Amino acid sequence: MPLFPVEEGTQPAGAPERMRYFREQGTKKLLLLMLLIGAVWYITGQIQDHYLLAHKWPPLQPDLSGLTVVGTLNRHSNFDQSDFKILTENTAARVALTEYGWDSIFNTANGPLCTLETGNAIQTALNVNDIEGEAMLAPFVRAETQVLMAHRHQGGDPAAFSKIDPNQVIHLPVETLHGKPSVTTLNALIKKYSGGGPGAMNGGGEASGGSAGGSASGRQVEHLVFLSPGMVASIFPVVLTGAQFTSASIDEEPPNLITGPEYSVSLNLTPQGRSRFFQWSHAHQDEDVVFVLNHQIVTKGHISEVLDTNSWSILNIQDKQAAEALTSWVNQHGAKNH
């Protein structure tokens, strides 16, 4: 009991100072705890990123009869100087070789085979027989993707054009010779179509619109050569295949007046798929990928940032059948089913 009674409603001397001290100490401990948690989270993230980046995965081969996800190397921030573009026509995505890409390929600086005459022969073939024309174009597009990957320090081959062999064997499918398959060479096809090509790119019968001279408005129209889904899957760098997915789900998004109903597909990744996708997104931000399923491009996706995720969502899919086909295939043939 204190020597002198404390009046009711008053605190002992020194009480406010002690309370302030304890509050300050508690605040400091809370701040230190938050800093510690933040440091542990940051260090853990750095270790995880290092592991995901450090693992060297062997290159994937395309699954031409199943699902293949490829990168199209079309950086949006450099749109006018992109070799490839993705266009959407009636909800379907298509990959096209641009005029810039065409001129980058058929440039004598790449080697003696990359001449304007070779380009003209391929243009003529695309106009007359698109199957033979694409077979001629394929090794040049493959070389260009290899050079682009080398420039970005992602493997590839900076000397890919010099390795195009004019005597390489080309197997033409049945459709080209009245039901009979044919075996020929690149050089034989170039000779077959030489002398009839125009002096400039004309889009191989697949131009985006207009003619080589421009549009009626006077604005120059860019001509594009659209690449078949099979060519896209077999030539472009493979990011993932169906073996890197475990399951998928589909959701319908609220319709809007401009595009109508849209769908989103969530794709769950295996640990390997997560690592491969993280590495690709780390080196290819602001680029697109396309999903080729059973010889058809079912959708595309844009990589806007580095993605370290177990689940990848593809948004704004307008083609319901394509979204359902992708979801169904992953659920039936994904990694969990093997």
Is residue 76 one of the residues assigned to a domain?
Answer: no
What's this model's pTM, rounded to 2 decimal places? 0.77
Query: Does one domain contain both 242 and 325?
Result: yes
Distance CA(141)–CA(63), nearest Å, equals 19
Across 162-190, average pLDDT: 83
User: Length of the chain, please?
Assistant: 338
Q: Are residues 185 and 130 in the same domain?
A: yes
Mean pLDDT of the chain: 83
105 and 213 part of one domain: yes
Do 147 and 257 fall into the same domain? Answer: no
Residue at 91 is within a domain: no
pLDDT at 169 over 70: yes
pLDDT digits (tens, 9 = 90+) for 97-130: 999 999 999 999 999 999 999 999 999 999 999 9
Residue 73 forms part of a structural domain: no
Helices (H), 129-169: 130-151
Domain CATH for 285? 3.30.1360.200
Residue-wise pLDDT tens digits, 42-78: 666 666 666 666 788 999 999 999 999 999 999 888 8
Inside any domain, residue 66: no
- Residue 249's nearest CA partner among 301, 336, 312 is 312
In a domain, 230, yes or no: no
Which range of residues forms the domain containing residue 325?
Answer: 55-60+237-337
Instruction: Return the pLDDT at 260.
Output: 78
Domain assignment present for 319 = yes
More confident residue, 257 or 235: 235
298 in the same domain as 188: no
Report how far apart, in Å, the C-alpha atoms of 292 and of each of 92, 105, 120, 222, 239 are.
12, 24, 29, 25, 12
| 130 and 188 part of one domain | yes
Q: Are residues 153 and 104 in the same domain?
A: yes
Residue that terminates a domain, selected from 174, 198, 223: 223
Query: For residue 212, is pLDDT > 60?
Result: no
**Domain stop point among 201, 223, 245:** 223
Beta strands (DSSP E) in the chain are 67-71, 84-89, 92-97, 169-172, 182-185, 225-227, 238-241, 245-256, 260-269, 287-293, 296-303, 311-317
When divided into structural domains, the chain yields a total of: 2
| Whether residue 217 sits in one domain with residue 114 | yes
Does 143 reside within a domain?
Answer: yes
Residue 289 in domain: yes
- Answer with the one of 198, 223, 248 that is the final residue of a domain: 223
Same domain, 189 and 103: yes
